[in-house]
Amino acid sequence: MKIKQNYMGKDKEKISAWIMLTPLIIMFVLFSVYPLINAIVLSMTTYDGFTAPKFIGIKNYIRVFSDTSWWNSVLNTLQFIVLAYIIQVPLSLALAVLLATKKKAVGFFRMVIFLPNITSTAIMGIIFYFMFASFNGIINGILMKIGMLSAPISWLGQPSTAKFVIMLLNSWSQIGFFMILFMAAIQKIPSELYESAQIDGANRWKQFIKITLPMLGTMFPVITMLNILNVFQLFDSVKVLTGGGPGRSTFVMALYIYEYFFNSTGAQQGYASALSVVATLISACIGALYFVLTNKKFSQN
């Protein structure tokens, strides 16, 4: 009898859980599942945004595989992922360690570092554009004044330097966010560990290597995943700074899809949908690969 009552109670709990979940499920279906299915349907058509889509089977997908410019933008995106990881994770960790103390003025620095994260990328992009302009740009001006440059550099006009500026803007705006995540994890580490380490005579560096880093272990996969996903969606900073140029040299996946969907003549919306399906698959594959690799590592540990 008792058992049954318990069971009934669990059932009720489940019902209330489902009821509470329903709005979310509806939203999820409306704004995630439906658009996804729609994109898959559109990807098998030729569609110009005006007239009814025409079914053409997998032709768009065949085209994706022979589109070298697309694969070039995939490559650019992967490059940015690696770069972003190398730059942003160590830097945000260092800042978090430095600012996770209770000293005065720390709050001010935290705010300054976090502020770019809540500033509009479009505005920051325009400011960066003027800073790195070849003619009358601030950066060129400073470098020439202190004698490091004899002639202005076309920062945004060459593929390599343009990528550097894009990465700089992206890192500047993202580091604050990752820093906060790291700080939250650091604050969870029991202070007794540090105290006993201090008694044992460990210096700050040793404490960092032996306590902070291992204890942060679980935070790394989260931040890595966020970082990868974030760069997969890289769009606004590239759009504002270079527009993908010069030529197609700084195009990333999201911008490439956008250009085909909104900025091209002819019936390209079907093709753009196919591209976005492929982009989703690429992101999913890399995400899955990452999970497989890290899961193995963690279970071994």
- Determine the Cα–Cα distance for residues 132 and 165; give it in Å rounded to an integer: 8
Q: Which stretch binds another protein (CB under 8 A): 84-92, 117-125, 134-142, 273-281?
A: 134-142
- Determine the Cα–Cα distance for residues 78 and 253; give it in Å rounded to an integer: 10
Q: Is residue 245 near another protein by the rule CB under 8 A? A: yes
Q: Is residue 48 near another protein by the rule CB under 8 A? A: yes
- Determine the Cα–Cα distance for residues 261 and 141; give it in Å rounded to an integer: 39
Q: Is residue 268 near another protein by the rule CB under 8 A? A: yes
Restricting to residues 15-34, name those near another protein by CB under 8 A: 15, 18, 22, 25-26
Restricting to residues 89-108, name those near another protein by CB under 8 A: none
Applying CB under 8 A, among 9, 49, 107, 217 the residue interacting with another protein is 49
Tokens read off for 25: 């499920």
Q: Is residue 248 near another protein by the rule CB under 8 A? A: yes
Residue 26 vs 293, nearer CB to another protein: 26
Q: Taking Cα atoms as reference points, which of 214, 206, 205 lies closest to residue 186?
A: 214
- Length of the chain counted residue by residue: 301
* Helix, strand, coil percent values for the chain (each to nearest 5): 75, 0, 25
Restricting to residues 172-201, name those near another protein by CB under 8 A: none
Task: Tell me which DSSP letter residue 201 carries.
Answer: T
Restricting to residues 55-84, name those near another protein by CB under 8 A: 63, 67, 69
The count of chain residues that interact with another protein, using the rule CB under 8 A, is 39
Q: Is residue 267 near another protein by the rule CB under 8 A? A: yes
Applying CB under 8 A, among 104, 146, 266, 301 the residue interacting with another protein is 266
- Determine the Cα–Cα distance for residues 44 and 4; give it in Å rounded to an integer: 53
Applying CB under 8 A, among 43, 73, 92, 242 the residue interacting with another protein is 242
- Determine the Cα–Cα distance for residues 169 and 230; give it in Å rounded to an integer: 13
SS3 54: strand
- Determine the Cα–Cα distance for residues 73 and 30; give it in Å rounded to an integer: 30
Taking phi over 0 as left and psi of -120 to 50 as alpha, with beta for the rest, 93 belongs to alpha
Residue 128 vs 177, nearer CB to another protein: 128
Shortest spacing between CB 282 and another protein, in angstroms:
21
What does the binding site for another protein look like in residue numbers (CB under 8 A)?
Answer: 11, 14-15, 18, 22, 25-26, 46, 48-51, 63, 67, 69, 129, 133-135, 137, 152, 154, 156-157, 242-249, 262-268
